[in-house]
Amino acid sequence: MAHQPDSAPVVLRPDSPTVMVLGNAEQVRQVILNLALNAATVTSDQGQVEIILRQSGERGLCLVCDQGPGFSQEAIENFGTPFFSTRENGTGLGLATSLRIVEDQGGTLDVDLEYRSGACVILALPSAP
């Protein structure tokens, strides 16, 4: 994200001292980067993107939250659908690819329907032993 000087600032907030998950590190990095770039794109100049790490039972969570307009009902219903995008020049492939990567590693990628300050996507992966 440091190479995106015009994007919203990103704040990393670990809620747990250590969050260890099972998964391909490079692919997980790619998913988090895609989510953060999507969030930064819709966040205004005064807003920020927050990445929250926490442990939840047998899952490690990474929440990527923004202060943009949030998800429309149509966007929620089409979350991860290839070629669906709310952005003018979007392809809808980044989120679809991210969803496939996460599911292939035994995880989930979901919209936090209770988040009200913009949009928040929850990446959950199995915890490492």
pTM of this prediction exceeds 0.85: yes
- What DSSP element (H or E) covers 60? strand 59-66
Cα 94 from Cα 106, distance rounded (Å): 19
Closest Cα to residue 53, out of 25, 29, 17? Answer: 17
Q: Which residues have CB under 8 Å from 3's CB, separation 6+? A: none
Q: Please give the Cα distance from 77 to 97 (Å, whole number).
A: 17
The one-character DSSP state at 122 is: E
The gap between the terminal CA atoms of the chain, to the nearest Å, is 30
Residue 32 confidence (pLDDT): 95
Please, what are the domains in the chain? 10-126 (3.30.565.10)
Task: Identify the pLDDT of residue 59.
Answer: 96
Q: Would you place residue 73 in the very low, low, confident or very high pLDDT band (cuts 50, 70, 90)? A: very high
Quote the percentage of the chain above a pLDDT of 90.
66
Q: Of 41-55, 57-71, 105-119, which range is least confident?
A: 41-55
